[in-house]
Amino acid sequence: MAELTSSKTIDLLKTLSSEAKEKISAAKLAVDVEQVRVSYFGKKGFISEVLASLKNFNAEARKEIGQVSNQVREELESLLSQKKAELETRELDQKLLKDQLDPTAPGVFYPRGELHPIRKVLREAVQIFEKAGLTPAYGPEVEYENYCFDKLNFKPGHAARDMQATFFVKNQGTERLVLRTHTSPVQVRILLKAAQNNFELPIRVQIPGRVYRVDDDSTHAPMFHQIEGLAVDRTATMGDLRAVLDYFFRNFFDEKTKIRFRPSFFPFTEPSAEVDASCVFCKGSGCKVCKQSGWLEVAGAGLVHPEVFDLCGWDSKSVQGWAFGLGIERLAMLKLGIPDLRLFFENRLSFLRAAQK
Ligand code: FA5
């Protein structure tokens, strides 16, 4: 650069200027403009290098070159900032166009969790019985064999105690423990507790919960749910029991649902009844589900056996009670039209979604 004359330097500045103008006008992006600025005016830029050589010229030449270089700088800087602003605006416009909100676009679907159909049916049943005056009460799923069977008047050799029907678990001391096979042992717990509480009456409870049996087919599961009903007072009749169950089934299915009692046997009730509801599918006229009978078996029930009162420390001559036990899965199958109860436990999402009513 040192051997350049002032006129050659001025020519060079003008050449660099027109070169830069071409590059500015050809720039497609704001970053390209910035690159042009750096390559001409940056520390090692073409124009910066020319200006750095000014110290080799005399004062007059410096003034002359200085004037031209100022002019070139002002002109280029204005072009650079104009072009940069223009390209930035265009880039922003394009971005906004691309990111535009489309109010007609379909929304994002977030699936919502739901309660299991069995839990829903159980809750609905509990609510109906609450309206009928039965307060929820609970007991343990691992139960004394004594409460599950003995105090309910099951004799020592009864088939229900068989390993084929009952899951036995580790003994607690001398007490044999079972997974409760029904919710009826909670009757025992409630009667024992009330006996300690000065035989306080009346008792009107419902006992929802899980129960376990060595059972497995399309209408029997190894774990299922029951709701037990228990009412104890100075007097209690099959008529009271029937009225509560009648109320329940009319509310759970529909107003037209009828129930009937068939004589049956349970060691802990006397008399005992099997409760049938008019078939919810054919409304009693007869179909495949009810095997043309017009009726479906839905519960066991009866008056509390005097022996149970005595075994729980009460005087059976001064007290009476009624009780029932409903299978929740059976009710859910009828309500939702599900033919195989195992479907409730496989937990396939397609089934669970279809069963949400
Ligand atoms: C009992 O369990 C008695 N504790 C009911 C009872 C209570 C009678 C109070 C009298 C007084 P049962 O074994 O019949 O009875 O069962 C009652 C209901 O549970 C049946 O009607 C049926 O709906 C349901 N159930 C029985 N076994 C199964 C099973 N393996 N899977 C699904 N549901 C079942």
Which pLDDT does position 247 carry in this prediction?
96
Per-residue tokens: 129 = 């019985």
Verify that 268 and 298 share a domain, yes or no.
yes
Could you tell me if 78 and 166 lie in one domain?
Answer: no
Nearest-atom number in ligand 1 for the CA of 213 is 30
In this structure, the dihedral spanned by the alpha carbons of residues 217, 220, 224 and 227, taken in order and rounded to 10 degrees, is 170
Give the end of a domain, one of 54, 71, 98. 98
Taking the centre of ligand 1 as the mean of its atom positions, its distance from the CA of residue 269, in whole angstroms, is 14
249 lies in the same domain as 340: yes
Predicted confidence (pLDDT) at residue 3 exceeds the cutoff of 80: no
pLDDT band at 357 (very low <50, low <70, confident <90, very high): low
Q: Are residues 148 and 43 in the same domain?
A: no
Q: Is residue 123 part of a domain?
A: yes
Better-scored residue on pLDDT, 240 or 218? 240
| Residue 107 is assigned to a structural domain of this protein | no
Q: What is the pLDDT of residue 122?
A: 97
Going by C-beta distance under 8 Å and a sequence separation of 6 or more, which residues neighbour residue 6? 57, 61, 64, 65
Beta bridge partners of 136: 206
Co-location of 166 and 217 in the same domain = yes
* Residue of the CA atom closest to atom 30 of ligand 1: 220
Q: What is the pLDDT of residue 190?
A: 98
Among 42, 68, 98, give the residue marking a domain's end. 98
- Angle of helix 117-131 relative to helix 238-252, nearest 10 degrees, comes to 130
Measured in Å, residue 175 CA sits from the centre of ligand 1 at 25
Which residue of 121, 178, 226 sits with most ligand 1 atoms within 8 Å of its CB, as the best mutation to test the pocket?
226
**Residue burial 318-355, b: 16+ Cβ < 10 Å; e: rest:** ebbbbbbbbbbbbbbbbbbebeebebbeeeeeeebeeb
Q: How far apart are CA 88 and CA 30, in angstroms?
A: 6
State mean pLDDT over 128-139.
98
Q: What percent of the chain has pLDDT over 90?
A: 61
Asked whether residue 150 is domain-assigned, the answer is yes
Nearest CA to ligand 1 atom 20: 327
Residue nearest to atom 31 of ligand 1 (CA): 220
Nearest CA to ligand 1 atom 3: 325
State the average pLDDT over residues 203-214.
97
* 108 falls within a domain: no
Q: Quick check: helix, strand or coil at residue 326? A: strand
Q: Say if residue 178 is in the same domain as residue 94.
A: no
Considering the domain architecture, whether residues 59 and 205 belong to the same structural domain is answered as no
Distance CA 182, CA 210 (A): 8
Q: How far is 155 from 137, CA to CA, in rounded Å?
A: 27
pTM, 2 dp: 0.72
Same domain, 198 and 273: yes
Question: Per DSSP, what are the bridge partners of residue 232?
Answer: 203, 321
* Closest to 343 in 3D by CA, of 217, 225, 226, 253: 217
Q: How far apart are the first and last CA of the chain?
A: 89
Q: Which whole number is the average pLDDT over 69-74?
A: 90
Q: Are residues 194 and 242 in the same domain?
A: yes
* Token digits of residue 228: 């037990």
pLDDT mean across residues, the chain:
91
Top pLDDT among 49 and 133 is at 133
How does residue 2 score in pLDDT terms, banded at 50, 70 and 90? very low
Ligand 1: residue whose CA is nearest its atom 14: 300
pLDDT at site 1: 45
Name the residue range of residue 297's domain.
117-356
Alpha-carbon separation of residue 66 from 41, 60, 63, 80, 273 (angstroms): 15, 10, 5, 20, 116
Nearest atom within ligand 1 for CA of residue 330: 23
For residue 320, give the H/E element and its range: strand 320-327
Apex 153 CA angle, 312 and 192, nearest 5? 15
Contact 325, 304 (CB under 8 A): no
Q: Does the pLDDT at position 36 exceed 90?
A: yes
In this structure, the answer to whether residues 76 and 130 fall within a common structural domain is: no
Instruction: Return the CATH number at 175.
Output: 3.30.930.10
What would the mean pLDDT of 227-253 be, rounded to a whole number? 96
Residue whose tokens read 């309206």: 131
What is the mean predicted confidence (pLDDT) over 338-347? Answer: 88
Report which protein residue has its CA nearest ligand 1's atom 28. 220
pLDDT value at position 160?
78
pLDDT at 131 over 90: yes
What's the confidence (pLDDT) of residue 117? 94
Residue 301: inside a domain: yes
What order do you get walking across the sheet with 175-179 strand by strand? Answer: 142-144, 175-179, 168-172
Number of domains in the chain: 2
Domain assignment present for residue 111? The answer is: no
**pLDDT (mean) for 215-236:** 93
> Please, are residues 281 and 290 in contact by the beta-carbon 8 Å criterion?
yes
How many whole angstroms from 242 Cα to the centroid of ligand 1?
Answer: 17
Ligand 1, residues at Cβ distance < 6 Å: 182, 184, 213, 215, 220-221, 224, 226, 228, 266, 269, 297, 299-302, 323-325, 327, 329-330, 341
Residue 350 and residue 221 share a domain: yes
What integer is the mean pLDDT of 131-154? 97
Contact 315, 287 (CB under 8 A): no
The answer as to whether 103 is a domain residue is: no
- The confidence score (pLDDT) of residue 58 equals 85
Which protein residue has the closest C-alpha to ligand 1 atom 22? 327
Structural domain contains residue 104: no
**Helix, strand, or coil (residue 299):** strand
CA triplet 115, 120, 126: central angle to 5 degrees? 140
- Shortest-distance atom of ligand 1 to CA 181: 2
At 181 the pLDDT is 96
The answer to whether residues 138 and 276 belong to one domain is yes
Query: To test ligand 1's pocket by mutation, which of 143, 161, 183, 184 has the most ligand atoms within 8 angstroms of CB?
Result: 184
Give the span between the Cα atoms of 133 and 131, in whole angstroms: 5
| pLDDT higher than 90, residue 328 | yes
Of 64, 98, 132, the position where a domain reaches its end is 98
DSSP 101: -
Taking residues 325-350, report their average pLDDT.
90
Mutation choice for ligand 1 from 330, 340, 343, CB with most ligand atoms inside 8 A: 330
Kindly report, residue by residue over 278-324, the tens digit of the pLDDT.
Answer: 888 888 888 887 889 988 888 999 999 999 999 999 999 999 999 99
Ligand 1: centre distance to CA 255 (Å) = 24
Residue 325 Cα to ligand 1 midpoint, Å, equals 6
